[in-house]
Amino acid sequence: MTNAFVAATKRALEAGVDFIEIHGAHGYLLHSFVSPATNTRNDEYGGKSLENRLRWPIEVTRAIRKTIPSTMPLLYRISGTDWLPEGQGWDIHQTIEFAKRLVEEGVDLLDISSGGNHKDQKIPSAPGFQVPLAAAVKKAVPNLLVGAVGLITNGQQANEVCFFFPGEVC
């Protein structure tokens, strides 16, 4: 499967893209590996071990980084939480740990979203509801560019979001 991601990356490069974003959020394939709510595997790519659940998404990230020019930005879209009760799914603590590892693999920007992978999720949808997730990652991994999303609907609100990211260009 990693080869399929690399092949897609090569097609994107041939099409002339300016950056690559790996979509690892919302219950998509890569997120289904990292989340303990959906990864029920019993091998080196699953189980309760965070190391095992991160293994394949890191392999994909590493392979894509090797495929693109070293100067090309690599972005990763991630769910900051599954919005499940504590201990039942992916959460901000695991997101922060993954973010640290993604920086080591050459990811330039982490695009923080959330949810989308479990029927029992309770998403507190409100203006800017995902901004605190992005702010927590930025605080823990200050050398990583972090994008905030989630019902940011106007310019004034976007300017207020910048408050969470001191020193960043907003």
The residues annotated as belonging to the active site are 28
Q: How many CB atoms lie within 10 A of CB 166?
A: 8
How does 141-162 read in b/e, with b if 16+ C-beta sit within 10 Å? beebbbbbbbebeeeeeeeebe
Q: How many CB atoms lie within 10 A of CB 40?
A: 9
135 three-class SS: helix
26 token code pair = 């919302």
